[in-house]
Amino acid sequence: MSRQSISLALGGGGARGIAHLGVLRVLEEEGIVPECIAGTSMGAVIGAMYARYRDTNEVERRIGDLVKSDFMDKAGLDSYASSKRIFHKKGLDHVLSRLRQNIQLARVFIRPGTIPVELLLEAMDYLIDDIDISELSIPFCAVATDLSEGKPVLFRSGPVRTAITASAAIPGVFTPLEYEGMKLVDGGASYLTPVPPVKQISNAPVVAVDVSKTLANAPFPDRGYGIFFRSGDIAMINYNAMLIEQADVVIRPDVASIHWADFYSYPEMIEKGYVAARSKLTEIDAVVHRESSLIRRWWERRKHKVKTSTS
C-alpha cells in the first residue's frame, strides 16, 4: 500500500500564480509528491511545468528565460502593469510607454482581446515541451471555460500547450482560443481555485493555493465603471471563498498587492509562495497522516474480513 499524498488545486491570478512555484519547492524539499495537480490560468501553467519536469529549479529557469525574452515586449503586457514602471521612466521612454498603454487599453472596445492568443501559444515554447498531457509524470488537469456554452472545460488529455494556453487566456486581454468548435478563455471564469475539479480525479486530501486578489489594496470607486468592476470582483471573491472552503488545507501567499501582469517580480513571488507553504507544513502533515490512518484502518478491516471468510 503506497504512502498517502495530497492533491493540489493551483488557482489563477496572472503573474501572482508564479507563487505556486514556491509552494511546490517546499513540497519538493519535504519529499511530498502530489497525487495529481489541477490548475487554473497561471496555476495550470506552473502545474503542468512541474508535472513535466519535477524540478522547481528547471521551472524557474524557464520562467526567467521567458521574462527575459522579447515576448513581454511583443505581447505588450507591460502596458497593463506599467503604472509603477512608467513612473520610473524618463523623457521619451515615459511618453512612449504611456502611449502604448492607452492604445492597448483602447483595443478592448473594438477587438475580442488586446493580444492575439497565438502569442500566448508562442510563449509556451519557452515553458514546456510540446507533449500530450498523458505524458506528464504527475496526473494533471487544466481548467478552461467555453465562452459559448458558459461551461468549464477540464483538460485531462490532449496537447498540454493547448490546454494551458486556453486556461490562461484572460478575457479581454487575450483573444479566445478556438479549439474543437469551442471558444475557450481563462478557467478563472469557472473555477478560480480548482478545488472541485481536483476532487473529481483524486481522493487524496486537497491543498488549495489561492493567489487571487483582494479588495484591500483597491481604492474605493467613485465612478460608475469603477463600481461595476468592483461589484464583479466581489462576486468572484465570494465564489472563490466557497470553492476553497472545500479544501483540506488552504495556502495564501502574500501576493494580493502584486499586479497580475508584473511578471518581472517572479523571484519575489516564488519567495512569498515558499514562506506561505512553510507556514502550513504542520497542517499538511496532519491531513496526510489523518488520511493515511483512515486508509490503514480500512485496509486492516478488509484483511480481517477476508481472513474470517476463508477460515
Active site residues: 41, 186
Q: What is d(CA 12, CA 23) in angstroms, rounded to the nearest whole number?
A: 14
Classify strands 206-209 and 7-10 as parallel, antiparallel or unpaired: parallel
Grid cell of 306 as nine digits: 477476508
Burial state string for 84-95 with b = 16 or more CB within 10 A and e = fewer than 16: eebeeeeeeeee
CA angle 166, 169, 170 (to 5 degrees): 150
Please count the other Cβ atoms lying within 10 Å of the Cβ belonging to residue 156.
16
Count of other CB atoms within 10 angstroms of residue 226: 13
Q: Which three cell numbers stand for residue 135?
A: 505524458
φ, ψ for residue 262, nearest 5 deg: -90, 70
Place of cell 484572460: 170
Q: String of b and e for 105-138 (b: at least 16 CB within 10 Å)?
A: eebeeeebbbbebebbbbbbeebbeeeebeebeb
**CB-based contacts of 59, cutoff 8 Å, min separation 6:** 21, 24, 46, 49, 50, 53
Q: Are 192 and 12 in contact (CB under 8 A)?
A: yes
